[in-house]
Copies of this chain bind each other. A is one copy, B any other.
Amino acid sequence: MGETYRKEIVRRIVKNMLDIQILRMVQTQPLWGYKIKKKAEADFHIKIRHGALYPLLNSLERKGLLTSETEHQTGRARKVYNITPRGREYLDTYYSILKEQLESKQPT
A91 nearest CB neighbor, chain B only: B5
For residues 58 through 95 of chain A, which have their beta carbon under 8 Å from a beta carbon of chain B? 89-90, 92-95
In the bound complex, residues from chain B placing their C-beta under 8 Å from that of A101 are 13, 24, 95, 98
B4, B12, B99: the one within 8 Å of A89 (CB): B4
* B2 with A97: CB separation less than 8 A: no
A91 to B16, CA, bound (A): 18
Residue pair B107, A6 in contact (C-beta under 8 Å): yes
Query: Which of A12, A17, A93, A102 is the most central at the interface, judged by chain B CB atoms within 10 Å of its CB?
Result: A93
CB nearest to A25 among chain B residues? B106
> What 10 A-B pairs come out closest when comparing CB atoms?
A43-B106, A16-B16, A2-B89, A10-B107, A5-B93, A98-B98, A5-B90, A6-B93, A9-B94, A9-B93
- What are 11 A-B pairs with beta-carbon distances under 8 A? A2-B93, A4-B93, A6-B93, A9-B93, A10-B97, A10-B107, A12-B17, A13-B97, A13-B101, A16-B17, A28-B104
